[in-house]
């Protein structure tokens, strides 16, 4: 196993001018497209399952894009999301469209934890989706066949470990369900468990500051079937495992999902989407 270094830097364009994000800059929390460059971390991957495989390298240079001037607001939190995301990369990435947004709540008190936006490459020519398909079928097809981004913006200061624990609970529950249904092989389960441990170790024991965006990118399925999809977390690291990457996204949409408001928003957006 040979560790290798990735430098990930993220930029989102809103206007011709750039400025660093400040949660106090605007009461509407224009939380993202006004961001300057983000360091996507120096990532050492030592797992044999991902060594020597091409990965996503995000560059420092990116040009502002006029299409990012539009925003949508989460009505539950007043947090705004750009309708378009652009990520600069040595391996070109598509332009991401905002498919839906919503709030994540916990406990019977309905405490608002974070607003979440779901972005996807809806212009991918491989997305052959019938307009007559159900919204759930459209969501699953998009998740399984194109590059997607989950943007999370906390409504209050929390911690990355708290966020991590929520992700791990959701993924372990999905693995248990898959095992019960017999839709995951023993080999796939063992491999996924190994990468879940890597994913858990990525999150730092540090504050996750109020109104600070966190972007989680899941790459499209590689052309080479021997390779795996990557789940890349800004400033932290990545794992390459098809099950972990895909199920991370699906956890937001199966049943009520981690955020019913997000799912409802996505369902509404995709109602007329398709050919």
The answer to whether 267 and 256 are in contact (CB under 8 A) is no
So what's the pLDDT on residue 260?
A: 97
Residue range 29-43, pLDDT digits in tens: 344 333 333 334 333
In the predicted model, is pLDDT for residue 76 greater than 80?
yes
Instruction: For 43-63, write each residue's pLDDT tens digit.
Output: 333 233 333 334 554 443 333
- For residue 56, what pLDDT is reported? 54
CA triplet 137, 139, 142: central angle to 5 degrees?
105
Domain segments of the chain as ranges = 5-270
**Tokens of residue 198, six digits:** 């890597």
Q: What is the CATH number of domain 5-270?
A: 3.50.70.10
Q: What is the pLDDT of residue 44?
A: 30
| Mean pLDDT for all residues in the chain | 80
- Determine how β-strand 148-154 pairs with β-strand 158-159: unpaired
Residue 21 structure tokens? 């994000």
């Amino acid at each position: 196993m040979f560790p290798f270094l990735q430098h990930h830097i993220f930029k989102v364009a809103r206007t011709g001018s750039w400025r660093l994000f400040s949660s106090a800059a605007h009461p509407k929390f224009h939380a993202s497209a006004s961001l300057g460059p983000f360091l996507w971390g120096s990532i050492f991957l030592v797992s044999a399952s991902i060594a020597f495989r091409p990965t996503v390298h995000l560059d420092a240079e990116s040009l502002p894009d006029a299409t990012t001037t539009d925003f949508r607001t989460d009505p539950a939190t007043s947090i705004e999301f750009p309708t378009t995301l652009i990520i600069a990369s040595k391996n070109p990435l598509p332009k991401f469209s905002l498919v839906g947004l919503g709030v994540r709540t916990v406990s019977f008190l309905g405490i608002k934890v974070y607003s979440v936006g779901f972005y996807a490459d809806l212009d991918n020519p491989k997305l052959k989706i019938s307009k007559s398909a159900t919204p759930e079928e459209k969501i699953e097809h998009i998740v399984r066949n194109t590059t997607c981004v989950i943007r999370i913006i906390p409504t209050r200061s929390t911690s990355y470990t708290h966020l991590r624990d929520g992700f791990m609970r959701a993924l372990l529950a999905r693995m248990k369900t898959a095992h019960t249904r017999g839709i995951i092989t023993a080999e796939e389960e063992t491999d996924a468990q190994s990468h879940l441990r890597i994913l858990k170790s990525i999150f730092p024991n540090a504050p996750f500051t109020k109104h600070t965006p966190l972007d989680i990118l899941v790459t499209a399925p590689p052309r080479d079937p021997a390779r795996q999809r990557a789940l890349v977390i800004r400033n932290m690291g990545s794992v390459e495992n098809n099950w972990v990457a895909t199920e991370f996204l699906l956890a937001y949409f199966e049943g009520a999902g981690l955020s019913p408001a997000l799912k409802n928003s996505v369902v509404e957006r995709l109602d007329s989407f398709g050919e």
